[in-house]
Amino acid sequence: MWYCVKAICYRILSSNNSMKNINIKVIAVAFLALASVTSCKKKGCTDPTAYNYSSEAKKDDGSCSYDAPYTIPTTYDFTDANGNNTVSYSGQTDRLNQLREMVVLMKSATTTIVYPEDLKAMFANTGGNGNGNFSFTSPKQLKDKCFSVDQALFETWMDKLALASVSFGSQAADGQAGVLTSGTSTYLFDENGKEYLQFIEKGLMGAVFMNQALNVYFVEEINVDNTTAVDAVNGKYYTEMEHHFDEAFGYFGVDIDFPTTIPTDFWGKYCNSQNATLNSNADMINNFRKGRAAISNKYITDRDKAITAISKEWEEISAFQAKKYLQDAIGFFGNDDAKYLHALSEAYAFSWNLRYAPEATRRFTPTSHTILMNLYKSNFWEMTIADLNAIISEIDAKY
């Protein structure tokens, strides 16, 4: 084509006299325009998902790189250029420990009366700094970080657990609160077969830990300053954005070397429980590390990808754990009332926690989640295998 352009221009310029009046400048412009069409396309990476993507490249030259151009540590351990530790989530650790001590008190209800005011004082850390509520000093509390709409509900569950504890000397039955034993395990149920220890413990894992991480720190409070250390003079070497991401990690409740070290409770325990199905251990910790490294290196798109992946996986852990306990309940149905009601109570709590998944990624809308929870009868003694399978089917339809 380049040869043809030159030939055409030559013929025009060398033709008879009637053509000599043609404006030479016009011919030159046309010539250059045609020449630009035939010039070589700019080469480079044309894949928008690659780190070295070029919006100007018209032809892919095979140079696309998908490895992060920054270091991602092998554990959740981050430092600044001077080697100062930039990770801090002590407040989250305090709240995890507060719930652990609440669980100890609630478990004692199988052998003694537990008073609702004691549970509520621990929930709100009345008086601050422990005030006798805990074995350690901390101004933190669970209540003010609990999903606000559900704070009263959790206190109602505390009332019901305390009321059931009055009957700790009785055997639980339909219409009768009391305890049931299976092997070496003893559980306290109300007259409807509900184990409120599970409602409260697992429920607060959702209403506080999951909600704060995914909806508060990852959505409402993530787009904050990421240029200046909060207070380097006093050892706060992290930026505000780094700190908020770390606090979300703190609520996940795992060690920095997870899954080398597996927690014995809360979300880390159940992440490991679903690992064979979801590959959740690697998915969660890798995305936490990737997201934090992306923030420190100012790759906000990578941060958001990691947040989305964490949010989806966290929700799936809760959904699959609910399904697992429903399947356990089916196995115990008619054979072991203690294990059956215990598993069903845990399934209820993990199903409940699906309401705390972020709006942008959650599978259940508020309406469909209400439908799911209504499949659990108010009296667990009255539920059938068909009822349990119906709940499993509802979860399967979404996940």
pLDDT-derived band at 23 (thresholds 50, 70, 90) equals low
Distance, in Å, from the CA atom of 294 to the CA atom of 38, rounded to the nearest integer, reads 41
Q: What is the mean pLDDT of residues 305-312?
A: 98
Distance, in Å, from the CA atom of 192 to the CA atom of 273, rounded to the nearest integer, reads 28
CB burial string 103-138: b at 16+ within 10 A, e below:
bebbeebbeeebebebbbebbbbbeeebeebbeeeb
**DSSP conformational letter for 61:** -
pLDDT at position 131:
66
The single residue listed with the structure tokens 């200046």 is 228
Structural contact between residues 49 and 68, judged by C-beta atoms closer than 8 angstroms:
no
Query: Which one is predicted more confidently, 293 or 4?
Result: 293
Task: DSSP for 350-396, please give it.
Answer: HHHGGGGS-TTT-SS-HHHHHHHHHTS-SSGGG--HHHHHHHHHHHH
pLDDT at position 345:
98
pLDDT at position 25:
53
Q: What is the mean pLDDT of residues 141-165?
A: 98
Structural contact between residues 102 and 200, judged by C-beta atoms closer than 8 angstroms:
yes
User: 32 by DSSP, 3-state: which?
Assistant: helix
Q: In 3D, which of 4, 344, 374 has the Cα closest to residue 180?
A: 344
Structure tokens at 219: 């959505």
Question: pLDDT tens digits for 196-243?
Answer: 999 999 999 999 999 999 999 999 999 999 999 999 999 999 999 999
Residues whose CB is less than 8 angstroms from the CB of residue 156 and which lie 6 or more positions away in sequence, other chains included: none
Structural contact between residues 294 and 336, judged by C-beta atoms closer than 8 angstroms:
no
